[in-house]
Amino acid sequence: MQNDDDESRFRLLKLHAIDAEDLKTVAATTHASVLKRGDIAFDRGRRRFALMMKRFRWENDDLVDGVGGVRIHCGLQINDVTGVQAIGLDRVTPEGTLELLNIDGEVTDSPAAQITMNFAGGYAIRLQTGCVDVLVDDIGRPWYTPNRPDHGTDQD
């Protein structure tokens, strides 16, 4: 049974990035998310790029013992996409797992931008967009995971 305090700790994250500065928040909250290559889609007609991932909830870091953590299903949608370039993803099967390391955004010819998603293993997706319009939405209920992301960056 959950009490009201538990509910407030597990509010669903909803973000809307409209500039390169906002993308830094998106990058911080989606860092170390995992997904299947098959959970990535581009709708050319609607100029919409989307993916589903299992986001590590860094904001719930106080709920665990420093070893594990909390994950939740999360959707990421990028609108007004005019071009997509995948780097190395042709070597990953649709069931292959990817780990999102970072999202970078750069305004190229205002309001147009280039958004790059970098994955572990040297994989990347580069999107050309008419503007920065990125949505992040948590879906469902979070769950405990004993596996805490660690890229060897912790300092003693």
The per-residue pLDDT for range 58-84, each reduced to its tens digit, is 888 766 666 788 999 999 999 999 999
**DSSP-derived secondary structure letter, 154:** -
pLDDT-based confidence at 129, cuts 50/70/90? very high
pLDDT score for 8: 58
pLDDT score for 151: 62
pTM of the predicted protein model? 0.87
The per-residue pLDDT for range 2-52, each reduced to its tens digit, is 444 555 567 899 999 999 999 999 999 999 999 999 999 999 999 999 999
User: Is pLDDT larger for residue 81 or for residue 155?
Assistant: 81
Is the link from the previous residue into 111 a cis peptide, with omega within 30 of 0? yes
Q: What is the mean pLDDT of the chain?
A: 89
pLDDT score for 117: 98
Tokens for 60? 């719930």
Cα-Cα-Cα-Cα dihedral of 8, 72, 17, 82, to 10°? -160
Q: Among all chains, which residue has been given the structure tokens 């991932």?
A: 53
